[in-house]
Structure 1
Amino acid sequence: MGNRDFRIEPQRLTPREQIRRYRALAGEHIISLRNLWPGPADYGGLRQSWLKDLLAGITVGVVALPLALGFGVASGAGAAAGLVTAIVAGIVAAIFGGSHLQVSGPTGAMTVVLLPVIAKHGLGVIPLLAIMAGIIVVAMAVTAVGRSVELIPFPVVEGFTMGIGVIIALQQLPLILDAPRGESESTLMAGWQTIQQADWGHAWQPLAVAAAVVAMHVIGLRLVPRWPLALISIVVATVAVVLLPITVETIGALPTGLPSPQVPDFTIGMLQDLAGPALAIAALAALESLLSARVADGMRPDLTPSNPDRELMGQGLANVASGLFGGLPATGAIARTAVNVRSGARTRLSSVTHSVVLLAVMLLLAPIVGTVPMAALGGVLLVTAGRMINLRLGRTMLTVTRADRNTFLLTFGATVLLDLVAAVLLGLLMAGVMSLRHMATYSVVARQNLPTATVEGVVDWSPEQRHLRDAVAVFRVDGALFYGNAQRFIDEVNDIGGDVAAVIIRCHQMRILDASGAVALDTALKRLRRRRIIYVIQGMNNSQRRTSVLMGATEERHHVKELSEALTWIDDELRTGVHTKMT
Structure 2
Amino acid sequence: MFSALRKSLVSGMKISEIQANVLAGLTVGVIALPLSMALAIASGVPPQHGLYTAIIAGIVIAIGGGSKVNISGPTAAFVVVLLPIVQKFGIGGLLVSGFMAGLILILMGIGKFGKLIEIVPYPVIIGFTAGIGVVIGTFQIKDFLGLDIESMDGDYLDKLLLIMNSLPTVDWQELLIGGLTITTLLLWPRIRSKIPGHLIALLLGSLTAWLLSQFSQDFSIATIGSRFHYELNGITGNGIPAILPSFEWPWNLPGADGTPIGLSFELIKLILPSAITIAILGALESLLCAVVADGMTGKKHNSNDELIGQGLGNIVAPLFGGIPATAAIARTAASIKAGSSSPLASVIHGLFILGAILALTPLLAYIPMASMAALLLVVAWNMSEPKHFVRTIKIAPRDDVIVLILCFLLTVLFDMTIAVAVGIGLASMLFIRKSITITSTTKVEKNHEDYGDLPDSVAIYDINGSLFFGSAQKALQAISTVTPNLRVVILDMTEVNMLDMSAIVAMESITESLSKQHIRLIISGLQQRMAAKLHRVGINNSREEVQFSKTVVDAINLANKML
TM-score bracket relative to the smaller structure: 0.7 to 0.9
Say if 2:128 and 2:419, in contact at 8 Å, map to a contact too: yes
Q: AA paired with 1:332?
A: T
User: Cα 1:36–1:217, aligned 2, differ >3 Å: closer, same or farther?
Assistant: same
Pick one of 305, 310, 319 that aligns with 1:310. 305
Q: AA paired with 1:563?
A: V
Q: AA paired with 2:296?
A: D
> Distance in 2 between the 1:209 and 1:423 partners?
35
Q: AA paired with 2:56?
A: V
Moved more, 125-134 or 502-511: 125-134
Pick one of 165, 179, 187 that aligns with 2:133. 165
Who is 1:15 aligned against?
none
Pick one of 83, 102, 105 that aligns with 2:71. 102
Say if 1:58 and 1:353, in contact at 8 Å, map to a contact too: no
Superposed displacement of residue 239, structure 1: 1.4
Q: Percent identity over the alignment?
A: 26
Pick one of 410, 417, 423 that aligns with 1:414. 410
User: Cα 1:194–1:239, aligned 2, differ >3 Å: closer, same or farther?
Assistant: farther
Q: Does 1:137 align with 2:105?
A: yes
Who is 1:544 aligned against?
530
1:136-177 Cα deviation digits (max 9, x unpaired): 433433443334334433333333333333233223222212
Superposed displacement of residue 379, structure 1: 1.7
Q: AA paired with 1:118?
A: F
Q: AA paired with 2:89?
A: I
Who is 1:332 aligned against?
326
Q: Does 1:560 align with 2:548?
A: yes
> Distance in 2 between the 1:161 and 1:279 partners?
23
> Distance in 2 between the 1:430 and 1:339 partners?
33
1:109-154 Cα deviation digits (max 9, x unpaired): 45257458738xxx76765665454344334334433343344333
> Distance in 1 between the 2:129 and 2:66 partners?
20
Superposed displacement of residue 498, structure 1: 4.4
Q: AA paired with 1:286?
A: A
Q: Does 1:118 align with 2:89?
A: yes
Who is 1:517 aligned against?
503
3-state secondary structure, aligned to 2:366: coil
> Distance in 2 between the 1:569 and 1:276 partners?
63
List alignment gaps of at least 5 residues for structure 2. 226-237, 253-261
Structural mapping, 1:190-339, within 5 Å: 191-196=159-164, 198-224=166-192, 226-244=194-212, 246-252=219-225, 253-256=238-241, 257-258=243-244, 260-262=246-248, 272-273=265-266, 276=269, 280=273, 283-297=276-290, 301-303=295-297, 304=299, 306-325=301-320, 327=321, 329-332=323-326, 334=328, 337-338=329-330
1:448-498 Cα deviation digits (max 9, x unpaired): 124546xxxx4334xxxx6x2x34322111122221212212432234444
Q: AA paired with 1:393?
A: H
> Distance in 2 between the 1:83 and 1:72 partners?
14
Pick one of 153, 156, 175 that aligns with 2:143. 175
1:306-348 Cα deviation digits (max 9, x unpaired): 54333323322223323333x25512165xx536645865536
Who is 2:363 aligned against?
368
Pick one of 384, 404, 428 that aligns with 2:424. 428
User: Cα 1:126–1:230, aligned 2, differ >3 Å: closer, same or farther?
Assistant: closer
User: Cα 1:358–1:542, aligned 2, differ >3 Å: closer, same or farther?
Assistant: closer
User: Cα 1:98–1:440, aligned 2, differ >3 Å: closer, same or farther?
Assistant: same
Q: AA paired with 2:199?
A: L
Moved more, 107-116 or 226-235: 107-116
Say if 1:518 and 1:548, in contact at 8 Å, map to a contact too: yes
Say if 1:315 and 1:332, in contact at 8 Å, map to a contact too: yes
> Distance in 1 between the 2:185 and 2:507 partners?
64
Who is 1:146 aligned against?
114
Q: Does 1:379 align with 2:374?
A: yes
Say if 1:209 and 1:376, in contact at 8 Å, map to a contact too: yes
User: Cα 1:328–1:51, aligned 2, differ >3 Å: closer, same or farther?
Assistant: closer
User: Cα 1:342–1:564, aligned 2, differ >3 Å: closer, same or farther?
Assistant: closer
User: Cα 1:126–1:34, aligned 2, differ >3 Å: closer, same or farther?
Assistant: same
Q: AA paired with 1:58?
A: V
User: Cα 1:43–1:263, aligned 2, differ >3 Å: closer, same or farther?
Assistant: farther
User: Cα 1:285–1:543, aligned 2, differ >3 Å: closer, same or farther?
Assistant: same
3-state secondary structure, aligned to 2:247: coil
Superposed displacement of residue 384, structure 1: 2.4
TM-score normalised by L of structure 2: 0.79
> Distance in 1 between the 2:181 and 2:135 partners?
19
> Distance in 1 between the 2:473 and 2:144 partners?
58
Who is 1:5 aligned against?
none
Say if 1:518 and 1:553, in contact at 8 Å, map to a contact too: no
Say if 2:105 and 2:310, in contact at 8 Å, map to a contact too: yes
> Distance in 2 between the 1:72 and 1:362 partners?
20
User: Cα 1:425–1:360, aligned 2, differ >3 Å: closer, same or farther?
Assistant: same
Who is 1:54 aligned against?
26
> Distance in 2 between the 1:130 and 1:293 partners?
15
TM-score normalised by L of structure 1: 0.76
Q: Does 1:405 align with 2:401?
A: yes
Q: Does 1:475 align with 2:461?
A: yes
> Distance in 1 between the 2:351 and 2:2 partners?
29
> Distance in 1 between the 2:426 and 2:21 partners?
42
Q: AA paired with 1:432?
A: S
Say if 2:70 and 2:332, in contact at 8 Å, map to a contact too: yes
3-state secondary structure, aligned to 1:219: helix
> Distance in 2 between the 1:48 and 1:408 partners?
40
> Distance in 1 between the 2:93 and 2:35 partners?
29
Structural mapping, 1:492-503, within 5 Å: 492-503=478-489
List alignment gaps of at least 5 residues for structure 1. 1-31, 575-583
1:518-542 Cα deviation digits (max 9, x unpaired): 2222333444445454433222233
Moved more, 165-174 or 493-502: 493-502
What's the C-alpha RMSD, in Å, of the aligned pairs? Answer: 3.7
Say if 1:338 and 1:384, in contact at 8 Å, map to a contact too: no
> Distance in 1 between the 2:529 and 2:345 partners?
53
